Structure 1
Amino acid sequence: MGRFGGSFKKTYVYDLAAPVISQLLKSVNFTGTELDEVIIGNCRQAGNGPNPARTASVRGGVPTEVPVTTINMACPSGMKALELAAMRLQLGDAKYILVGGMESMSTMPYLMKDVRWDGFKFGNKELLDGWADSVDPLIGQGMGQTAENLVEKYQISRTDQDEYAASSQEKAHHAWEAGHFTNEVVPIEIDKTIIGKDETFRYPVNREKLASLRPVFKKDGTVTAANACAMADGASFMLLTTADVAATDGLPILGKINGFAQAAVDPDLMGEGPAVVIPKLIKDHQLDLNDIDLLEVNEAFAIQILANESIVGWDRSRLNIHGGAIALGHPTGCSGVRIVTTLLHALKTHDKKLGVASLCGAGGVTMATLIQRN
């Protein structure tokens, strides 16, 4: 993951995704003609042309004859792409689907509204930051304010939020040091420099500095830049097929998707989503929370994780064991696939069987998926 304004600050989203697609195809000796479709989640699309997933795919080596779809469901976009691909495979009308998520937060443009028809005439016009699209029109609030709404409802302290954030940073550092991300991360070359490690996490963690940071979204609030997710640029991809096709073609299977669940919650409290959808998913599959070996819940905010934890009651030692989005970053369209990728590798690394990945999303949408290691 590239940090906001970091190495990828001038790299448009399709050029972030293209080398990942290219290397994935090479890893399975595909030319791209084997694909029936490419489905990619991408939220921040302004300025990226029509169907940015198509541009990313073709630049990544996918033949122009392969259809490509861009999905926007806020933060769960990448996971929704996974679900749509799985549905096509279940229907039997596809053999191979390339699925991914991508986001370039650093290249989000500035916007000028009401100019096309009104013109400039006299006076000044306001230049709007493209980040204004993060404000939910349903409630007139950004996601940071909804995080403060969770603080007010669940009364979780700033100290607890900061400590959770620190632990996420430390877990990410230790995971990198142990080589757990080696088989998960694809190096990218920018201006003749190879970037092969996440730029987002910070180590060592200075807890005194964390405590000194001012709140960002509310004057007397508790949500800071450090206990919220890191803004980032990134892309994540995987190849989906059926067990029979993989066996016939001699492809290794990392894991399988056992199912999905969707739900929706009050947009004012959008961070509660995983606490609703994870129990639904587990119940749908006649499982108990204790049956789940590992959980990957996207860390939009520390308060969001802690609020969900207070509702669901998961064992934190099973949660985001290699760090989460507070440390690794949350490129929104990318994250739904990224957390599933991380979960699959974590299940293999730690010799575990079942995992659940979940995200909340703007507007109150939420998803979860049940993953089984092969």
Structure 2
Amino acid sequence: MNDPVVILAARRTAIGSFQGQFQGVSAPALGAAAIRDAVLQAGVHASEVDEVHMGCCLMAGIGQAPARQALIAAGLPDSVPATTLTKMCGSGMKTVMLAHDQLLAGSASLLVAGGMESMTQSPYLLPAARSGQRLGHGQMIDHMFFDGLQDAYDGQLMGVHAEAIAKEMGFTRAEQDAYALASVQRAQAAVASGAFVREIAPVTLKVKGVERTVNVDETPGQCKPDKIPTLKPAFGADGSVTAASSASISDGAAALVLTRDSTARSRDWRPDPALNPRQARLARRP
């Protein structure tokens, strides 16, 4: 490809743990922080963005058109169109794929793509309330479980299926613990060294009238590596998958600014170059 799609900027919020530092921040607000910083880092004007695509799975209760909420809160003009996309586990990645294809097709010159989620703020649902709960005990449904973590076909949590796959593939508890331990240690080392600072968009919170800025991932600091081997199986008494080897329930957002290489050159926009890993320190700083 002589004119590839390039990434002008990539920003994300810190990752908040379930009911943690972002418990009072909606998914669109998290998305706005990522979009705002990504556009700023890219050095483009907000009015030059042709469209915004944002992924979001748990949309109940966060208001109409979440991606539009995010772009408006990020300071982009009302004239910029927005699309919210939902795809289990891959909403944000799919928006980048769609933006890539849209740029190749020539239907846009500058796009923002990303994802946002607040698992903490996902509500409980009362399915019988609209038609009237006439008699007996009412049912309350967890939106996060029902629309996010639970298989729509057999009602099982996705972790139950992960457990079945682990058994089928012969992944032992020791192997999973070792993988989880390495992941936690790498995350903690990265946070401690400041390796993530460049990519994190700060989010300002107001707690009891006092403002504070959140720019550090919350979950790595809560993990206790020495506890990993002692955790109980999460999806069956005789299982091997634990909370440490499972995906965390968390809150956060990320956004990319994408364009074609020829467009970037003609507008003097500078994408981060593709470098050999040994040259990573040469990448452009925002």
TM-score normalized by the length of structure 1: 0.66
Question: Residue type matched to 2:203 in 1?
Answer: I
Q: d(CA) in 2 for partners of 1:93 and 1:113?
A: 41
Q: d(CA) in 2 for partners of 1:59 and 1:144?
A: 35
Residue deviations 1:270-291 (CA, integer Å, cap 9, x gap): xxxxxxxxxxxxxxxxxxxxxx
Q: d(CA) in 2 for partners of 1:204 and 1:2?
A: 13
Residue deviations 1:294-315 (CA, integer Å, cap 9, x gap): xxxxxxxxxxxxxxxxxxxxxx
Is structure 2 residue 279 aligned with structure 1 residue 351? yes
Is structure 2 residue 163 aligned with structure 1 residue 163? no
Q: d(CA) in 2 for partners of 1:57 and 1:200?
A: 27
Unaligned runs of 5+ in 1: 257-346, 353-374
Shift of 1:132: 2.1
Is structure 2 residue 150 aligned with structure 1 residue 97? no
- From 3, 9, 16, the equivalent of 1:2 is 16
Q: What is residue 17 of structure 1 aligned with on the other side?
A: 31
State the superposition RMSD in angstroms.
1.8
Shift of 1:121: 2.2
Shift of 1:139: 3.2
Percent of aligned pairs sharing the same letter: 34
1:203 to 1:351, Cα distance in 2 relative to 1, 3 A = farther
| 1:169–1:203 Cα contact (<8 Å) kept | no
1:48 to 1:185, Cα distance in 2 relative to 1, 3 A = same
Q: What is residue 264 of structure 2 aligned with on the other side?
A: 246
| 2:57–2:117 Cα contact (<8 Å) kept | yes
Shift of 1:160: 1.3
Q: What is residue 56 of structure 1 aligned with on the other side?
A: 70
Shift of 1:250: 1.3
Question: Residue type matched to 2:279 in 1?
Answer: D
Q: What is residue 310 of structure 1 aligned with on the other side?
A: none
Unaligned runs of 5+ in 2: 1-14, 281-286
Question: Residue type matched to 2:205 in 1?
Answer: I
- From 165, 186, 193, the equivalent of 2:212 is 193
Residue deviations 1:93-139 (CA, integer Å, cap 9, x gap): 2110011111111100001112211x122322121211222211123
Question: Residue type matched to 1:55 in 2?
Answer: Q
1:20 to 1:166, Cα distance in 2 relative to 1, 3 A = same
Q: What is residue 357 of structure 1 aligned with on the other side?
A: none
Q: d(CA) in 1 for partners of 2:154 and 2:136?
A: 31
- From 111, 124, 127, the equivalent of 2:137 is 124
Matched length = 260
Q: d(CA) in 1 for partners of 2:142 and 2:18?
A: 15
Q: d(CA) in 2 for partners of 1:53 and 1:184?
A: 21
Q: What is residue 237 of structure 1 aligned with on the other side?
A: 255
- From 146, 158, 163, the equivalent of 1:148 is 163
Q: d(CA) in 2 for partners of 1:120 and 1:179?
A: 53
1:51 to 1:348, Cα distance in 2 relative to 1, 3 A = farther
Q: What is residue 45 of structure 2 aligned with on the other side?
A: 31
4+ runs deviating over 3 angstroms: 28-31, 202-206, 347-352
Q: d(CA) in 1 for partners of 2:59 and 2:218?
A: 23
More contact order relative to length (CA 8 Å, sep ≥ 6): 2
